[in-house]
């Protein structure tokens, strides 16, 4: 019984929809706002008639599909964004960067004292090979920075630079 009623109800609904659409008036003259919209569209049609294909595509994207609104939202939202760089530290330089982070600052007599104390502690520890290798790399970097400072007349500084290296590459 339900299988017979369902197609009859659907056909009746379809008939009512078509009948209602046939009795509707064309756009405008239905209410006050529609009359205004019809006049505004008539004025805008004068401008739109002169559009080329490219201008029509831009009009469709920016106006009809609210592209301008999306661009404004993205512009407002992107003002508050900030970006952080995460760069993985290679396994063989992990100890080196721990030393660099600990001693960063100007390279002077305190740097030499720090390196001497770190060398003594490394020789007395159980992992002396890795620590002395990292200290060798650190001393080499300190010497390079001192030489550059003397040649170019600036005070050398030791910086923790993995994020800098991720953007611009390794420093000498």
pLDDT score recorded for residue 4: 80
DSSP-assigned letters across all residues of the chain:
-HHHHHHHHHHHHHHHHHHHHHHPPPSSSSSHHHHHHHHHHHHHHHHHTT--HHHHHHHIIIIIT-HHHHHHHHHHHHTT-------PPPGGGHHHHHHHHHH-EE-SHHHHHHHHHHHHHHHHSTTHHHHHHHHHHHHHHHHHHHHHHHHHT---EE---HHHHHHH----
pLDDT attached to residue 164 = 73
Question: Which residues does the chain have with pLDDT short of 70?
Answer: 1-2, 20-31, 83-87, 171-172
């Amino acid at each position: 019984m339900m299988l017979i009623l369902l197609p009859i109800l659907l056909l009746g609904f379809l008939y009512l929809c078509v009948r209602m659409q046939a009795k509707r008036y064309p756009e405008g003259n239905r209410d006050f706002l529609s009359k205004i919209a019809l006049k505004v569209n008539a004025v805008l049609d004068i401008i739109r008639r002169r559009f080329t294909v490219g201008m029509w595509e831009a009009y469709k994207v920016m106006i009809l599909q609210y592209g301008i609104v999306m661009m404004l939202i993205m512009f407002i939202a992107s003002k508050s964004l900030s970006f952080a760089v995460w760069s993985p530290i290679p396994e063989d330089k992990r100890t080196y960067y721990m030393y660099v982070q600990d001693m960063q600052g100007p390279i002077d007599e305190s740097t030499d004292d720090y390196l001497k104390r770190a060398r003594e502690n490394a020789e007395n520890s159980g992992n002396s090979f890795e620590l002395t290798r990292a200290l060798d790399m650190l001393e080499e970097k300190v010497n390079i920075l001192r030489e550059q400072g003397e040649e170019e007349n600036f005070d050398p500084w030791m910086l923790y630079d993995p994020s800098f290296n991720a953007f611009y590459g390794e420093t000498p």
